[in-house]
Chains A and B, each alone.
Chain A
Amino acid sequence: MKRTRRSSQVEPEITPASLPDIAFLLLIFFIATTIFETERGIPLIIPPAGGDPSPVNRKNVLVINSDAQDHIFVDEERVTVGEIALRVEKRLEENDKLIISIESHPDSKYQTMVAILDEVKKAKAERISIKLFTG
């Protein structure tokens, strides 16, 4: 049996006319799914457990603490969040070895602790410690 020949004279080809359509379709997909990186965090290095805490002079420690109602105290004196940075800056000028100890009340909000940490970072303090309840 003889094979029948195709009689069509049309050259097969892929039409490039739909190329922009494909490109735009993919483009829309990627625009819609793109999330730009917005993760931000306050970095802090915490000492690992088991390390021997070295004793520090009480004079070199500035305590910032909060109570259960989220009131903030710098060295026992009540302050607003916005005042912390200024006070820490002033104390750092007097004593560059100053360690900032953040002592939060167990019932205070996490937001308060982060707000204090933020303010302390604004004052460019480098020695920051977060006091834990035990160990």
Chain B
Amino acid sequence: MRFERTSGVPSGIPTASMADIAFLLLIFFMATTIFKLEEGLVVELPRAEMGERIPRDKVSFVWVDYTGSISINDQLITLDSIEPILIRRLRENPSLIVGLKLDANIPYRITDDVIRQLKRAQAINVAFAHELETTGS
């Protein structure tokens, strides 16, 4: 037995809501976009698993690359100027976290020098930035 379709409505996807969908996605991406404020140096971060998310609004990064160049806020600085810069930033924000973006291949002596500067600046909250280890082993 054959049935005949009685509906005369043409099938089709309505395109009127396309703009709504586009705007919805647009608002989502606009709200989540964070523009990179700092370029930093080229560093190969050490690998680890136990790190926590660093809140972006509370952190001030110190970069040290493979050659031992130090940078804060995209300015190349000497080791001794870490202390005054951090003191100034801590005055503005006492709960500042100092994020250390140090190259994994630098000798520990450089890390030691940097930590000593942080201690002098009374910057007690430190985070050792790392890449998330992809566990293959």
**A1-30 to B contact mask, C-beta < 8 Å, 1/0:** 000000000000000100110011011001
- Whether a CB of chain B sits under 8 angstroms from the CB of A56 is no
Which residue in B50, B97, B112 is a CB contact (below 8 Å) of A133?
B112
Contact: A117 with B47, CB < 8 Å?
Answer: no
- Whether a CB of chain B sits under 8 angstroms from the CB of A44 is yes
User: Known: A23-B22, A37-B34, A37-B56. Contact between A49 and B47, CB under 8 A?
Assistant: no
Closest beta carbon of chain A to B107's beta carbon, Å: 5
A108-124 residues with Cβ-Cβ distance < 8 A to B are 108-115, 117-118, 121-122
Contact: B104 with A110, CB < 8 Å?
Answer: yes
- Chain B residues with CB below 8 A from A92, complex form: none
Contact: B53 with A39, CB < 8 Å?
Answer: yes
Which residue in A30, A45, A112, A134 is a CB contact (below 8 Å) of B33?
A30
Closest beta carbon of chain B to A57's beta carbon, Å: 24
Contact: A49 with B125, CB < 8 Å?
Answer: no
Closest beta carbon of chain A to B130's beta carbon, Å: 6
B interface residues, how many (CB within 8 angstroms) = 54
Contact: A33 with B107, CB < 8 Å?
Answer: no
Contact: A110 with B110, CB < 8 Å?
Answer: yes
CA distance A86 to B57 in the complex (A): 35
CA distance A33 to B36 in the complex (A): 9
Closest beta carbon of chain A to B29's beta carbon, Å: 4
User: Known: A26-B26, A27-B22, A46-B124. Contact between A40 and B52, CB under 8 A?
Assistant: yes
CA distance A66 to B56 in the complex (A): 32
Which residue in B34, B51, B109, B120 is a CB contact (below 8 Å) of A49?
B120
- Chain A residues with CB below 8 A from B96, complex form: none
Which residue in A27, A41, A46, A133 is a CB contact (below 8 Å) of B99?
A41
Given A30-B26, A46-B126, A111-B47, 11 extra CB contacts under 8 A: A23-B23, A35-B33, A37-B34, A37-B53, A41-B127, A46-B118, A66-B108, A107-B109, A110-B108, A113-B108, A114-B104
User: Contact residues of B with A, CB < 8 Å?
Assistant: 18-19, 22-23, 25-26, 29-30, 32-36, 46-54, 56, 59, 97, 99-100, 102-112, 115-116, 118-120, 122-132
User: Contact residues of A with B, CB < 8 Å?
Assistant: 16, 19-20, 23-24, 26-27, 30-31, 33-49, 66, 104-115, 117-118, 121-122, 130, 132-135
